[in-house]
Amino acid sequence: MKKIQKSKAMWGGRFSAGPDKLVQEFTKSVQYDWRLYREDIFGSLAHARMLQEIGVITKGEFAAIEKGLKQIFAEIEAGVFEWDPTREDVHMNIEATLTARTPAGAKLHTGRSRNDQVATDMRLWVKQSIVTDLALITDLQAALVKLARKYQNVVIPGYTHLQRAQPVYFAHHLLAYVEMLERDFSRLADAWQRVDVLPLGSGAIAGSTIPLKRERVAQLLGFGAVTQNSLDAVSDRDFILEYAAADAILAVHLSRLAEDFVIWSTAEFGFVRIGDAFTTGSSLMPQKKNPDVAEIVRGKSGRVIGNLMSLLALVKGLPMTYNRDLQEDKERLFDTVDTVQQSLTIFASMLADVKVNAANCERAVSDPLLLATDVADWLVNKGVPFRHAHEVVGKAVAISEQTGIPLDKLPLAEWKKIHPVCDASLQKIFNVREALSRRKMTGAPGKKQVEEQLKRWEKLLK
């Protein structure tokens, strides 16, 4: 039988020896949860301050703990702190190092469990991540508005089913994504309220007999409230699920935006040209200029969606309360945040290096079929029921296709054969910019309406 090898990590008096090295390697998380060091140290400083205020530790002991934690923080920031994998995670590494340097460190964990400690650290980390997300969303919105303003007079075909539908201003299309991103902003800002609750003081599952002042710690750490049930506090990961869900929706929006730029940059469309700094060539075909940045943003959305599914599956079968399975939430969360924030950053930069080919857009929007619905509306204004008007225009389109005569060049006599109400004023409908000027309602792509929306967003984003 293989001899079981034990390490001598800090496992307490219950165990005569540490875990098998295989177990130690399997269960350690310091290789990724070290990223929580700021939150762990800030949380420990607040906890220590409270312990001093209630008389559990002296002012001198607090000063020693504070000095030690600040020194550890500086070493981590400088990249010289030695992480010990036998100490399992970020919490044990920091506490053990502190205790080795000052006897007062042994009192730091009074009234605290790693269960409520890690829940606190994660909430602090997510709060900061939301702040960063909101700033990056705003930057991307500003980049979209700036590009829209630059090309506000360019008209492109709007699409449904990826088939040409009706004309819209290019700016109106970009502003659609600004609206989508605003919903992402709102979702994340709303999620903040449910993250902004302090679990520290809940202990392992049942609080503490030591008279901890949880509200004081919440004040020190900038939390708006404290949790009301110790069992829920240590096992709750809803705030991570909600954040991951909001970021997954955001990633899907970025994917859709990327898809439009991928399509628009093709030779078949030729609406935009992405700068060389944000495209790549082919290893074989020297003529190629590929929109790799947009494609990778599109691809990474699947990764973020997968992280959300992994997190949901992680918690779905857990009994109350804390279970070690929850260690697996961090890599998925960290990856989601890194991926989304990188995507937001690079896309905003890419948009600053995009040029619109107005001539190609003009050619595409000159298709008279884009105004077929306008003709139907014109007939409605002449008293023709819409369903009948729809049929009239459909017949005209069929004749246009059969004869090869563009819809706007179809003789008036042909129109009259289909419906007698048609007259010479029908030809005036086939002017794209006049057609857009007739779209005057809120949210429509009329020139005046687009200008109003550009001004609104420019003001909001300041």
Q: Which residues are catalytic?
A: 161, 282
CA-based max dimension of the chain: 101
Q: Is the peptide bond before 321 cis (omega within 30 degrees of 0)?
A: yes
Residues in the chain: 462
Nearest-CA neighbor of 134 among 193, 195, 181, 194?
181
Contacts of 14 (CB under 8 A, 6+ apart): none
Q: Which helix (H) or strand (E) holds 198?
A: strand 197-198
* Distance separating alpha carbons of residues 284 and 423, to the nearest angstrom: 58
Query: Residue for token digits 């901890």?
Result: 212
* Distance separating alpha carbons of residues 301 and 90, to the nearest angstrom: 29
CB distance 56 to 210 below 8 Å: yes
Up-side HSE of residue 369: CA atoms within 13 Å toward CB?
A: 17
* Distance separating alpha carbons of residues 207 and 321, to the nearest angstrom: 13
Question: Could you please report the per-residue DSSP string of 223-246?
Answer: -SEE-S-HHHHHH--HHHHHHHHH
Radius of gyration of the chain (CA): 31
